[in-house]
Structure 1
C-alpha cells in the first residue's frame, strides 16, 4: 500500500554545467520526481529543480523523506554540486517552482510505480527501542541555592586579546560571572553564552578559555543540581562540534580549529568532572558517561559499568558511550548502524566526511539529547 505525503519536497541542485544538469535531471525523473526542470544558475553553473510529491511505501513520511534527501544529497555530490531542500503543500510548491526547461511534469499517480520502485531498495524504519528508564526526568530541586560560585583565575585571562562572536571578548567574564551567580539569571546567562561565546555551532579563540570556568562552576558543591546538569549537557555539546582524536595524553593533538581546541579543553578536564560522580544524580551520571566517551583512556571505571547495569531497559546512548569509553570500535559501529535503522537523523551523521570516531561521537550526542533530556 502506498501513501501520498501531505507535503511535497522541492530540491534545488546547482551543478557545474549544462550536460551535468541534464544528466542529473534525468536521474531524478527516473526516480519518480514529478516535476523536474533545468536552467542556467544566476551566478555560474546550472540548476536542477525537482519536486518529489510521493508516493511513499507507507505513511512514515519523516522516514521516507529523509531517505530520499540522503539519496539526492549523494547524487549532488557525485555531480560536483550542492543541494538545498524545502517543503510545502504540493499546490504551493508547484506555484512557486522555478521556471526553466521542463524535463518532466507528471502527477503523483503517474509516477507511482517509478517512485515506489526507486524506494524499494531502502528499508522501512525498524522498531525503535522503548525507553523505560527515567533519566531524562530527574527529581527537581528547591530552586537556586543562592550560593555564588567563586571563579579562580578569571581576571588572569586577557579577555580583550581574545574574540567572540561580536568582536573582543571583554564581555565574556561578566557572562561567566552571571553563570557563577547561581541564581534566577541562569537562563539569561546561558543564552548570552550561546550568543557570544558559541554561536550557531561556531567557536572562537575565547571559547576554549571558558571551559575551565564552566568546569569550576559545575564542580561547585552549592550549584543548583538543575544548573549542573545543564552545564554537563552543554559541555558535551560544545565538545562534539568538532571532536578531536584521542591520544595517550590529553592535549597532545594540535587543534586546527577553535571548535577542536574547545573539544580538547573539555577532554583535558574530564578527570575533574568525573570527581562529581559520587555526589550527583543518575541523570548527571548519565551525562558524565557521555562526556567520558570523548576522551577517557583505559576503559570505563567499574562504577560506570555498574551504573549501566542498574538502568532498566534499552539505552542506546549509554551503550554507545560505554563502547566508546572502552575503545570497542566494532561495538560502537554496530550500535550506530542499529540506530540508523530506526532514527532518520543518524544516517547523515554516519555519512559525514569526518573520521569514524568523530561520527560516532556526533551520533552519541544526538542519541543522548533524545534519550537523556526531557521531551519538548
Structure 2
C-alpha cells in the first residue's frame, strides 16, 4: 500500500556541464520525480564552462507512511548521484502546490502527476530497506537530577584577562565582550539562560566557529568542573562542548579544528568530575571521551560499569564505549545497526571526510536522541527524540 507524503521535496543539483546535468535529469525522471527541469545555473547564459542546474520534485508516493525515512532515502540517492557527476545538491520541502509554483525555471524534461509516476517511484524505493523498529529506550538519562540549590555562587575564571580578546573576533565583530559572556556564565543563577544564548549566538553562531572560539574553551571547562555549578548547568555545557567538538563542516574549517583540539586538550581534566556527577552528565562525558580513545582508556572500566548500571538498550552509550575502546569492528556493527532505524545515520555515513569524523557525527545524533533534555540550548536540536 502506497502513501502520499504531506510535503513535496524539491531537489536542486548543480553540475559542471550540460552533459552531466542531462544525465542527472534522466535519473530523476526514471526515479519518478513529477517535475524535472534542467538549464544553466544563470538563466540565459549558457557559456562554455558555466555550471548547470537540475531540479526535481519528489511528490511520492512512498511505500509506507514513514515519510521521513523515505525522504532520507531519496536524499541519499541524490547526494550520491550528484557526487558521482561532480556536483552538489540542496533540497527544500513545501506543500506540493507551493513547491511546484516556486520550482526554478528551466527546460522541462518531465511534468507529470503523482499518480502518473506511481510505479516508477515505488520501483525506485523498493530497492531501499524499510525502517526497522528503533530500540525501546528504558533509561531516564534525558532527565537531569534536580539541584539541591539554584546556584552555588560565582566561579572564578583563572587567566581570563590574559587573552587578548579585543584583537579576536566572533560573529558580530570584536570579541572584547567575550569575557563578560564567560563571567555571566560563571555567575550562574537566573542569568544562565541569557548567558548561554549570548555565547552560542556570538562565539559559536549557528555552529560556525571564530577566532575567539578556541581560546574560550578552557574557561567553559573551568566552569563545568566547578563543584558549585548546578548539575543542570553542567549538563548544558557538556552538551555544548560535545556539539562544538563534533558538529563540524566537511572538511572541518581551521577554527573548528582548533576548537576540537582545545576540547581534547582539556578532556583529561574535565573527566575528573566523573565521580561527582549524575547519570546524564556521565553519559555526555562518555560521548566526549570517544574523541580520544587513548585518554578515555584510563577510565574505560568506570565507563563500562556505568553502562552496566543503565537499564535496557543504549545505542549511544554502546557506540561511545566502542569508540573509547578503539574497537573498530564493534563501531562498524553498531553504526550499521543504527543506520537501519535512524534517519540521519545513513546520511552521515555517506558524507565525505574521515571515517572517524563521520562515526563521531553518528554518535552525536544518537546522543541527541537519547540524552538531550529540554535544556537552555533548546529541545534536542534535530528533533530526533523517539
Alignment TM class, shorter chain as reference: over 0.9
Contact 1:270 1:296 in 2 (8 A): no
1:154 to 150, 160, 169: 160
* Aligned twin of 1:95: 101
Could you say what the CA RMSD is over the residues aligned between the two structures, in angstroms?
1.8
Which blocks of at least 5 consecutive residues in structure 1 are unaligned?
Answer: 245-254
* Aligned twin of 1:310: 309
Q: TM-score, normalised by structure 1?
A: 0.93
Deviation readout 1:190-238 (Å, 9 max, x if unpaired): 1111122111222122211111111111111111111011111111111
Report whether the alignment pairs 1:336 with 2:342: no
* Aligned twin of 1:109: 115
In structure 2, C-alpha distance between the alignment counterparts of 1:243 and 1:53, rounded to whole Å: 30
What SS does structure 1 have at the residue aligned with 2:108? strand
Q: What pairs up with 1:1-376 in 2 under 5 angstroms? A: 1-42=1-42, 44-142=50-148, 144-242=150-248, 257-297=254-294, 299=297, 300-374=299-373, 376=379
How far did residue 95 of structure 1 move?
2.5
What SS does structure 2 have at the residue aligned with 1:93? helix
Deviation readout 1:245-281 (Å, 9 max, x if unpaired): xxxxxxxxxx971111111111111111111111111
How far did residue 61 of structure 1 move?
0.7
How far did residue 242 of structure 1 move?
4.2
In structure 2, C-alpha distance between the alignment counterparts of 1:49 and 1:362, rounded to whole Å: 29
Contact 1:243 1:361 in 2 (8 A): no
In structure 1, C-alpha distance between the alignment counterparts of 2:146 and 2:131, rounded to whole Å: 35
In structure 2, C-alpha distance between the alignment counterparts of 1:146 and 1:222, rounded to whole Å: 4
What SS does structure 2 have at the residue aligned with 1:103? strand
Contact 1:241 1:259 in 2 (8 A): no
How far did residue 166 of structure 1 move?
2.2
* Aligned twin of 1:248: none
What SS does structure 2 have at the residue aligned with 1:187? helix
In structure 1, C-alpha distance between the alignment counterparts of 2:104 and 2:213, rounded to whole Å: 42
How far did residue 293 of structure 1 move?
0.8
Which blocks of at least 5 consecutive residues in structure 2 are unaligned?
Answer: 44-49, 380-386
What SS does structure 1 have at the residue aligned with 2:313? coil
Q: TM-score, normalised by structure 2?
A: 0.91
How far did residue 99 of structure 1 move?
2.9
How far did residue 143 of structure 1 move?
5.2
In structure 2, C-alpha distance between the alignment counterparts of 1:69 and 1:243, rounded to whole Å: 19
Contact 2:41 2:51 in 1 (8 A): yes
Contact 1:243 1:260 in 2 (8 A): no
Contact 2:153 2:187 in 1 (8 A): yes
**CA 1:14/1:188 → structure 2, altered by over 3 Å: closer, same or farther?**
same
Q: Which moved more, 1:199-208 or 1:332-341?
A: 199-208
